[in-house]
Structure 1
Amino acid sequence: MTCSDEEKRKFYDHLRMVLLSIPQCDKIILLGDFNARVGTEYLAWKNVLGRHGIGKCNSNGYALLALCAELELSITNTFFRLPDKYKTSWMHPRSRHWHLLDYVIVRRNDLKDVLITRAMRGAQGWTDHRLIRCKMRLNIKPPHRAEHKIPARLAFSKLVLDVDIRKELDKKFGNTASDSDSVDNPTIDAEWRCFADNLHKVSKLVIGKVQKKNQDWFDDSDTELRQLVGVFRRSLRSAHCNQERNALHQVLKRKVRELKNEWWLAKAQDLQRLADTNQTARFFESLRTIYGPRCKKTAPVYSRDKTTKLTDPSEVLLRWAEHFNEVLNPGSQGADLNYINSLDALPISSDLETPPSYEEFHNALNRLKNGKSPGYDSLPSEVYKYGGKNIKTRLFELVLQIWDAEIVPQDWKDALISKLYKGKGDLSDCSCYRGIALLSAAGKVLAHVINSRLVKLAESFLPESQ
């Protein structure tokens, strides 16, 4: 109150700039002793003041109310019907009157999240102000990431078993017009992105998403258990003696234990069979079906010199990027370049530049393994191997375009690196994890074609040991 009007104006101008810099999607909780009395005129300051204010308004109060009205903020202290002793926060030393000077201010839309705001009379804060406590129910939504959105995982395993789904997928993909047909001179990346998006959209309609449903031993025995429970409940309502009722209860518990043991034994035998036959994908899928998915969290990791632990998600991601860059791109420190440069040059093979035939493409396609996690495009090898003639033909044409232009789509070069704990060592140490690079299945087809040609050529001059 002793400051000049110019200083007060500068303060509120600065506070206004700070509040305006906060994104509209973020919540605001403004706390402070403003030395302002806002009064009880709730009709004049609609949605800023509540019906349960106290005292008269002063000059500081008008400045605070004007700021809240401009930015659509609400003073939560005035929205709860409480005795005056739970509203006020400071007593004037001369008049001995209690006033409300300390506020909790939120956005008008977030007022529904505030449960109560009141003064705590017994709290000792080593100050002549009472502690103001505000209880809130904060429902914080995760930020929406519009870019780099990975498509949903689909149930492509159905293509391996169901021939009708294969035919329907091939038919609908052939009938769907490609968006790139209307574009003049589309780039390779645009051609591939249009093909991948179109294929994923059609697959989503035909195949559908993976059904995430955890199994439980009670589900498979639900009917029989309900009958036993019904018999036991009827015995509770009837005039049976306690001895008969206890006997029925023992029968029910014994049957429940038998059904539970039988279910777990059958699941264990099924998992053992999958492990013995090297069906790794179905083995882990069955485990996830029983126990449910694991909760994925960003754990703190050590810095490079292991002196501190990083907890901020952005710093953790940068540390993982630094670690995998060292592992996957070690450089050529141990190579003797003089020796390599002294080697005789091999003759140039002009056959390597000829475009691949459909037979080469088909053989490379068959080399892809089933049950592997897809890359960024969420299109696994099954959709190309069992999708049908239209899908294979369109992919082969795209491979020929890439071969002729000598430009590979960026999605084929990018990899999603998934880290797996080795099972020993410190959880915060990056070296205790191994990374798995998930690549695009379509890019693997081109890689197999090139690799097959190089291996065939190398057999003519490399020894068998290499």
Structure 2
Amino acid sequence: MNVHAPTEDKIDDIKDRFHEELDHVFDKFPKYPMKILLGDFNAKVGREDIFKPTIGNESLHEISYDNGVSVVNFAKSKNLTIKSKMFPHRNIHKFTWTSPDGKIHNQIDHILTDRRRHSSRLDVQSFRAADCETYHYLVVAKVRERLAVSKETKQKVHMERFNLKKLNEVDGKEQYRVEISNRFAAVENLETEVYVNKTWETIRENIKMSAKESLGNYEPTKHEPWFAEGCSQLLDQRRQAKLQWLQDPSELNGDNLNNIRRETHRHFRNKKREYLKTKIDELARNSKNKNIRDLFRGINDFKRGYQPRSNLVKDENGDLLADSHNILNTWRNYCSQLLNVHRVSDVRQTEIDTAEPLVPDPSPFEVESAIAKLKRYKIAR
């Protein structure tokens, strides 16, 4: 779970609401899987002796502030440990935030893990070289977990996809028609006493071979992101400028870093605009050429954007489930209620009386007369 806590200068009501929500969300976690809480806790945790079973001896600060005490109390109540305070490192690898002037350093970003898997965390430290365009530093934790290897191998089904766009072209359509006509000419000479399954297999293979010979396989177009080689070079320049500023936080190095940041932002903004313009032109071209499938696929990409896959589901109460066993039971109950129809045995069968037609059937002469009265190019009603 990622956490962003309020700062020290916030009022107590905001802090209390945050910790109440944190307790509520944490209690929904399943008991057995590994639990990791990380993020910006905005908490300075000291080296008090009463906190050592939870935080260890390697904190950057001497005294705990209010947010630090709240984090420690939360960790003790949930049987967690603050692993970012337990590994000996130099101070430059402990602090996670630096003020804009480069004079104040704090350790306010933490990683909390459950005490049950205390030995699975090998190391936690901050990396100053990772440039994320923020005054926070990247905090990296090394985790070693023993996982059970499943012996079951899933069989992947390979499905051929043909380039159906060639059917919109005159040459491609004619080539496919000739190919499939030649192949089905041989099927007509087969014996009549042939099993249906064998005949269907022959027909299916002929259709697939005809499409493969005339249309070819479908090759999806590769996604070309706006982040190109020039963007990588600017990021390298910004990273070098930041390292130089960290080693020597002088005014000259600070101005150089700010200039490179502005240039990087301007270049990224222009590249994004060019990328969006290319996508819009592609949508207009698909709309003009009547490529409805590609048109709506591009529109949906714009509307939805990036959507990561998630293995979480909600139960009947709206709570998130992460355990595979509980997820399977939830889907089983949902499908059983949706698909299973429980028959009622005590329903009495009643006789259904059908009404006799009051209008006699029309004669052949009346039908011919009605047809003769029809106008041309009109549908009969």
TM-score by length of 2: 0.38
Larger RCO (CA under 8 A, 6+ residues apart): 1
TM-score by length of 1: 0.31
